[in-house]
Amino acid sequence: MVTINTTKTLYSPENIEVGIVHIGLGAFHRAHQAVYIEKNLNRNMGGSWGICAVNIRSNYQLVDQLERYGCRYHVVEYRNSQNGHLREINAIREALYAGDDKEVLFERLLSEHTKIVTLTVTEKGYYIALTDKKLRLDDPSIQYDLKHPAQPKTAPGILVEALYRRREIGLAPFTILSCDNIPNNGSLTRQAVCELAAQRSDEFAQWIKDEVAFPSSMVDRIVPAMTDESKKRLQRDFKIEDPNAVLSEAFSQWVIEDNFPLGRPDWENDGVQMVKDVHPFETMKLRLLNGSHSLLAYIGSAANFETIAKTRAVPEFAALVRHYMHVEAAPTLEMPEEVDVPVYIESLMLRFSNDSLHHRLSQVAIDGSQKIPQRWFACTEERLNANKDIFAVALGIAAWILYVSGRNLKGQQHLVDDPLAERLSECHANTDKPQEIVRNILDMSDIFPSILREHDGFYQAVLSAYRMLITQGVMACLTVFESDE
């Protein structure tokens, strides 16, 4: 029996002005930023911070379906399998699909009411090279945008064109707020936009640097992709017939650098932490939460587990994750003052055990080549420099190397959803020698920085973990981590 609390919309949605354009409408946006805006509108009984949520390349269906329901949907927040909170959400006032024709989107972006553009376009959506942090000008999509600046395909292309047009008509630029899991996501977005703008003129790029604010933010809420099973569960537990409903954990955090020249919602009254410097929060969350997630995803998949909660429930896996956080990651972090490391780590362990989420390892495993560098590499470099072991990360990388072969230890196949999937798979082609496979992968200079590529200790650590993984299996590899559960 599930205990349900309900929060309903208190304002009149039809009176809400759109002040925010969000690019990247998916489950995460619906269960995170849109919930904060809903709280804001409810508390203020309305306002001008409604959202126009946009997809630019995929997921037309969701846009269409949301529009059919007047953009009203529900979020179910599971504290655990017995307690849930049902929220009605009307904060998204408009859903757009801007595929081949971007003019409706530009109309929105050129409105004087649009003060903020938020983004969840995933790591790869910024077209920034992971190693030198420069815009990937040779990427075919960026090349396309350079040739068709008025009908761009990428998020940076859209932002550049919209800023260009706003400047032409003398309208102050909107603030751009990245909500993706990337360190320094504000400066990274600025880098992408300014470099692309510089292809038009240096003077335009300079104007962006001078006039446009790119605050950084840290976002945190575990939101599994919806499946038919989870939709049925929502119907059963909450009696809602809503194809656009999403479920999430109860926990939610949003830390934002307070830099909004055109104004912003009074988010601080809705639980958002408005701060001067987001960096310690971002790195803490990325390395501890996301870093652990990726470990569970790849090592858990090698052992044939399906969800984060089921994997974390195995004491040896819990020991691995605790070791990774306490020993390999946390000591390399400059933690936010108010955060107590052991308390934060145990709160993550608890969140990972939320079995109501059915958070699939395969979801976390997507785009590994784009995710693991910012989750694992900084602490690894620091430990290698100090001649310290990297058992957990080396095993994580070994399991990821196995994962990108498209097979698990039993030889069962799975899809590798990653922009570099083809090249990663080629590293396994024509050889089954561990030393060659590991070398081929670690030589990929668009993933591994030279400091790791050229570090023999790093290669040896990954190779020995990979050998052990494929010859003795996952559980044998986990014996080095001491279990206390």
Binding residues vs ligand CS2 (CB under 6 A): 181, 220-222, 289-290, 293, 363-364, 371
Token representation of residue 313 = 């429930």
CB of 10 to ligand CS2, least distance (A): 27
Structure tokens at 407: 């097979």
H, E, C per residue of 296-336:
HHHHHHHCCCCEHHHHHCCHHHHHHHHHHHHHHHHHHCCCC
CB of 101 to ligand CS2, least distance (A): 31
Q: Which residue number, 222 or 438, has a Cβ lying nearer to ligand CS2?
A: 222
Q: How far is the CB of 364 from ligand CS2 (least distance, A)?
A: 4
User: Residue 39 or residue 371: which is nearer to ligand CS2 going by CB?
Assistant: 371
- Which of 222, 469 has the CB closer to ligand CS2? 222
Give the type of residue at 274: M
Nearer to ligand CS2, 135 or 357 (CB): 357
Q: Of all residues in this chain, which one has the CB nearest to ligand CS2 in the complex?
A: 293
- Give the nearest distance from C-beta 477 to ligand CS2 in angstroms: 22
Q: Which is nearer to ligand CS2, 363 or 380 (CB)?
A: 363
Nearer to ligand CS2, 56 or 372 (CB): 372
CB of 165 to ligand CS2, least distance (A): 33
Q: How many CB atoms lie within 10 A of CB 127?
A: 22
Q: How far is the CB of 289 from ligand CS2 (least distance, A)?
A: 6
Instruction: Round to whole Å and give the CA distance between 194 and 133.
Output: 13
Q: Which is nearer to ligand CS2, 221 or 233 (CB)?
A: 221
Which C-beta is closer to ligand CS2: that of 293 or that of 312? 293
Q: Which is nearer to ligand CS2, 363 or 405 (CB)?
A: 363
Minimum distance, C-beta of residue 371 to ligand CS2, in the bound complex (Å): 6
Write down the least CB distance from residue 290 to ligand CS2, Å: 4
Of residues 32 and 153, the one with the C-beta less far from ligand CS2: 32
**Least spacing, CB of residue 164 vs ligand CS2, in Å:** 32
- Nearest distance, CB of residue 274 and ligand CS2, angstroms: 19
What is the amino acid identity at position 126? Y
Work out how close the CB of 115 gets to ligand CS2 at its nearest, in angstroms, rounded to a whole number: 25
What is the spatial distance between Cα 384 and Cα 391, in angstroms, rounded to a whole number? Answer: 11
Minimum distance from CB of 220 to ligand CS2 (Å)?
Answer: 4
Residue 215 sits at φ, ψ, to 5 deg, of -65, 150
Tokens 């790195």, located at residue: 283
Encoded amino acid at 219, one letter = V
Residue tagged 């306490």 (tokens): 326
For ligand CS2, the closer of residues 190 and 359 by Cβ is: 359
Nearest to 13 by CA among 52, 54, 45, 39: 45
Nearer to ligand CS2, 117 or 255 (CB): 255
For 286, list phi and psi in degrees, rounded to 5: -65, -45
